[in-house]
């Protein structure tokens, strides 16, 4: 699998930077992790079983090239190009 292409920088929303009234505290992060870690594990299990093919799109060089080729053909004829992915989940 390729290296991760999306990185999230969240330091500027923490309570250390903007204060406890509006910032996310370490306790907020802990509570969020308790809820999300099991869900992420479920999603990863489904991905490994091939049930969430959309999650592999960032690593699918063939699809990326097809989108780039189509965008190149349409660039002079349209202002906005929307790429929609529809996946059938089993």
Q: What is the pLDDT of residues 25-84, one digit of tens each?
A: 999 999 999 999 999 999 999 999 988 888 887 778 888 888 889 889 988 998 887 877
- Are the C-beta atoms of 90 and 51 separated by less than 8 Å? yes
**Would you call 14 helix, strand, or coil by DSSP?**
strand
Q: What is the pLDDT of residue 90?
A: 44
pTM: 0.49
Q: What angle do CA 51, 52, 58 make, to 5 degrees?
A: 145
Give the start-to-end residue ranges of the domains of the chain. Answer: 1-49, 53-90
Q: What are phi and psi of 33, to 5 degrees?
A: -65, -40
């Amino acid at each position: 699998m390729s290296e991760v292409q999306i990185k999230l920088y969240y330091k500027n929303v923490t309570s250390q930077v903007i204060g406890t009234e509006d910032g996310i505290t370490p306790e907020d992060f802990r509570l969020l992790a308790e809820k999300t870690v099991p869900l992420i594990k479920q999603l990863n299990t489904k991905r490994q079983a091939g049930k969430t093919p959309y999650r592999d799109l960032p690593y699918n060089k063939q699809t990326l090239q097809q989108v780039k080729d189509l965008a190149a053909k349409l660039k002079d004829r349209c202002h906005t190009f929307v790429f929609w992915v529809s996946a059938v989940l089993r």
